[in-house]
Amino acid sequence: MAVYLMAVGMILLCSLCLSAVLLKWNELKYRKKGLPPGTMGWPVFGETTEFLRQGPNFMKNQRARYGSFFKSHILGCPTVVSMDPEINRYILMNEAKGIVPGYPQSMLDILGRCNIAAVHGSTHRYMRGALLSLVSPTMIKNQLLPKIDRFMRDHLCNWGGSVIDIQEQTKEASPDYEMALLSSLNQTIGFLSGSMRDSLKSEFFKLVLGTLSLPIDLPGTNYKQGLQARKKVVSILRKLMNERKASIDTDNRNDMLSYLTRSEENRQKLTDEEIIDLIITILYSGYETVSTTSMMAVKYLHDHPKALRILREEHMEIKGRKRPDDPIEWNHLKLMRFTRAVIYETSRLATIVNGVLRKTTHDIEINGFVIPRGWRIYVYTREMNYNSYMYPDPLAFNPWRWLDKKADLANNNMMFGGGSRLCPGKELGIAEISTFLHYFVTRYRWEEIGGDKLMKFPRVEAPHGLHIRVESSP
């Protein structure tokens, strides 16, 4: 027995010594003159596990130890984390000065090398131009909003007298439920047959999970499944593109894919690969932000009856200005001032986007430190949403703070990105959520059943759903 205990003790001691050596070796490997303070964690994995497990608490602890500008090793890369509003603004506004997009390998591989978040320079300019042409105010007004309205009317029918999972209805991969994805599919590629639509949906959700994983190319990993899902999604989109091109003279569809495949309207002359990656990017970005914001808006409005009352009054007034079957139109969106404030406040408080990643193209000096070529910079904007100087009583749900136009345009407001990377689909997303809220609050009353837990990192979600009892309005 004594020999066994000694053997176990020796194994534990050796393990501790090996761990200490590995940690020290990794620290020495990245000990370069001029780098900001911080820790690098384990070889290869760095501090990714702690970052994903602890989330915001990891960032707060590191900031308490090293300040608002520190080094780490997360998501497979040596990274400098910036939590300073002024530095963050500088980084986002100076992309051409040695700073380019630096998203994780998993996102690059699965969303495509031509996705707008990954490219830079002239490629980014013409890809952004193509995207802006698809989501311009004119396109929203004339083409997209009528589709959104028809979809939301149908999607929200027959909810009364039932218990529903609002997360499932807006976000998850349950048949005919995932509002944001179905709405986005309707806008981007139009009507699909049931089997093709179901196949595309199934693969798309695997694709989303793959982008949020480490790039470990082994069977069964989310990354591997994401890569396989991308191949299938690309195959479906390429088939649709070929069909549109073959019937270009008779194709009168007004979805985004048809718009891009018609050469006279594709002014940027995008290649097939660029068109496919652009469509995937639109589906990906719209799904995550619209679905989560819609779900959390329902949650916050339920918890704040005064805000719900004012929002409902705003929409009942709009409803009274039109006939029962008339759709929501552009001029109605302009009247939804409080609705817009609710969407902004929901985005701030829920923090759907935690930050953005950049990469250095050469050694660059920021804040008195030298960041080596090839390192990532994580512009961590999450804590800015809870800055008490910018947002008094920051943990309170207070849409009224956004009714002051200055709050919307504040220099430090980076919820929708900044500089040349300001979210091009912002107004389209607001139009979708506003239309959803219009039909939801004018048709129904609801109450939470209770007991559902919310997680806000790395994604905002309710692990067991967010269940509400819905009744039709009198």
User: Could you state, in chain order, the average pLDDT of each consecutive group of 10 residues for the chain (474 residues)?
Assistant: 53 49 52 83 77 86 93 87 88 78 86 85 84 90 93 89 83 55 84 77 87 85 93 92 79 81 68 91 84 91 96 96 92 96 93 86 90 91 84 93 68 68 86 96 91 74 84 87
Say whether both 10 and 140 belong to one domain.
no
Say whether both 180 and 70 belong to one domain.
no
**Residue 348 φ/ψ, nearest 5 degrees:** -70, -50
Say whether both 48 and 120 belong to one domain.
no
Q: What does the alpha-carbon distance between residue 94 and residue 357 come to, in Å, rounded to a whole number?
A: 13
What pLDDT is attached to residue 226? Answer: 93
Residue at token pair 């916050």: 300
Crossing angle of helices 222-246 and 194-211, in 10° steps, is 140
The strand pair at 444-448 and 77-82 is best described as unpaired
Say whether both 378 and 403 belong to one domain.
yes
Q: Residue 92 to residues 74, 278, 365: CA-CA distances in angstroms?
A: 20, 22, 15
Say whether both 186 and 274 belong to one domain.
yes
Say whether both 288 and 357 belong to one domain.
yes
What pLDDT is attached to residue 383? Answer: 82
Among 74, 107, 127, the domain-final residue is 74
Q: What does the alpha-carbon distance between residue 22 and residue 24 come to, in Å, rounded to a whole number?
A: 5
Among 74, 100, 127, the domain-final residue is 74
Say whether both 33 and 154 belong to one domain.
no
Say whether both 116 and 58 belong to one domain.
no
Q: Which domain holds residue 239?
A: 75-472
What pLDDT is attached to residue 31? Answer: 66
Which of 402, 309, 406, 306 is CA-nearest to residue 347?
402
- Total of domains in the chain: 2
Q: What does the alpha-carbon distance between residue 330 and residue 148 come to, in Å, rounded to a whole number?
A: 12
117 in Cβ contact with 281 (< 8 Å): yes
Say whether both 47 and 138 belong to one domain.
no
CATH number for the domain that contains residue 338: 1.10.630.10
Q: What does the alpha-carbon distance between residue 381 and residue 91 come to, in Å, rounded to a whole number?
A: 12
Q: What is the DSSP letter of 42?
A: B
Q: Is 114 annotated for ligand binding?
A: no
Residue 120 structure tokens: 């830079």
Say whether both 275 and 323 belong to one domain.
yes
Say whether both 149 and 58 belong to one domain.
no
Among 74, 93, 121, the domain-final residue is 74
Say whether both 306 and 180 belong to one domain.
yes
Residue 279 structure tokens: 């469509």
Q: What does the alpha-carbon distance between residue 436 and residue 152 come to, in Å, rounded to a whole number?
A: 6
Q: What does the alpha-carbon distance between residue 367 and residue 384 come to, in Å, rounded to a whole number?
A: 18
